[in-house]
């Protein structure tokens, strides 16, 4: 079943207005949850009237769907660039996963507010679920192709590498969400996470895949 999306604006001016709204929403979500945020304060920061928003979109949830679409589109674009085989000639599995982990930590940290709202709503919202499934499936497919390339296939010693890459990906991003987006429930969070979180996350994934050796130094 195809889940309907809102049609993006066709005119440049309308797109610029939408970008201002989404940028303003991301700034507000750095300070409070989507439930707590009001359309009035978001539109005030964007320099747009609430009436103008409702002329384009049916309700506040439409704004979250637009944020979700942009968030996952940015993730997909970063993934397309990061997982391009042309970048990884002669690279080891450790080098590839370490760079992916470092980049993922940077992105999730920078987008913490919108990521938090999107991930919380994804538990019950089929539109966001569909987007996440599509992007995750593309990531896993490309990651498998990269890590199981004949030039580096022997580095992965897990007995079921296809499954391990997918399940490891799931565990990796689950832990990433917990450490970067929902860290307030953990004691001494900032001290535990530290500035080398990407490298520590890479260690987890590499160990599960049965890849020997520590992540390369920065």
Residue by residue, DSSP assigns 11-64 as: SHHHHHHHHHHHHHHHHHHTTS-TTT--HHHHHHHHT--HHHHHHH-SSHHHHH
Residue 165 · residue 209 · CB < 8 Å: yes
The answer to whether position 105 is within a domain reads: yes
pLDDT for position 55: 83
80-133: pLDDT as tens digits: 999 999 999 999 999 999 999 999 999 999 999 999 999 999 999 998 999 999
Asked if residue 87 and residue 146 are part of one domain, the reply reads yes
The answer to whether position 152 is within a domain reads: yes
Asked if residue 50 and residue 79 are part of one domain, the reply reads no
pTM: 0.86
Token pair recorded at residue 9: 């604006």
Asked if residue 108 and residue 192 are part of one domain, the reply reads yes
Asked if residue 133 and residue 29 are part of one domain, the reply reads no
**Is 2's pLDDT higher than 50?**
no
**Is 212's pLDDT higher than 60?**
yes
pLDDT for position 1: 33
Asked if residue 78 and residue 105 are part of one domain, the reply reads yes
The answer to whether position 1 is within a domain reads: no
Dihedral of CA atoms 47, 49, 55, 59 in degrees, nearest 10, equals 100
38-52: pLDDT as tens digits: 999 999 999 999 998
Q: Which CATH number belongs to the domain containing residue 19 in this structure?
A: 1.10.10.60
Domain with 162 in it: 65-209
Reference 74, options 26, 34, 11, 36; nearest CA is 26
Residue by residue, DSSP assigns 63-121 as: HHHHHHHHHHHHHHHHHHHHT-GGGGTT--HHHHHHHHHHHHHHHHHHTHHHHHHHHHH
Asked if residue 69 and residue 50 are part of one domain, the reply reads no
119-175: pLDDT as tens digits: 999 999 998 999 999 999 999 999 999 999 999 999 999 999 999 999 999 999 999
Give the chain's domain count: 2
49-91: pLDDT as tens digits: 999 888 888 889 989 999 999 999 999 999 999 999 999 999 9
**Of 57, 76, 91, which residue is a domain's last?**
57
pLDDT for position 163: 98
């Amino acid at each position: 079943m195809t889940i309907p999306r809102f049609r993006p604006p066709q005119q440049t001016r309308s797109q610029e207005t939408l970008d201002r709204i989404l940028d303003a929403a991301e700034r507000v979500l750095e300070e409070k949850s989507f439930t707590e945020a009001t359309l009035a304060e978001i539109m005030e920061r964007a320099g747009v009237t609430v009436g103008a928003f409702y002329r384009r979109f049916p309700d506040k949830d439409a704004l979250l769907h637009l944020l979700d679409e942009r968030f996952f589109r940015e993730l997909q674009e970063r993934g397309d660039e990061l997982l391009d085989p042309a970048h990884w000639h002669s690279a080891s599995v450790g080098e590839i996963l370490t760079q992916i982990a470092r980049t993922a930590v940077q992105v999730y940290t920078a987008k913490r507010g919108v990521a938090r709202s999107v991930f919380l709503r994804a538990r019950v919202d089929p539109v966001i679920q569909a987007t996440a499934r599509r992007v995750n499936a593309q990531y896993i497919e490309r990651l498998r192709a990269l890590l199981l390339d004949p030039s580096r296939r022997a580095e992965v010693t897990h007995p079921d590498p296809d499954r391990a890459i997918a399940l490891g990906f799931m565990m990796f991003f689950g832990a990433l969400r917990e450490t970067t987006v929902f860290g307030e429930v953990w004691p001494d969070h900032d001290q535990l996470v530290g500035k080398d979180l990407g490298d520590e996350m890479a260690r987890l994934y590499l160990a599960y895949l049965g890849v020997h050796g520590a992540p390369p130094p920065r």
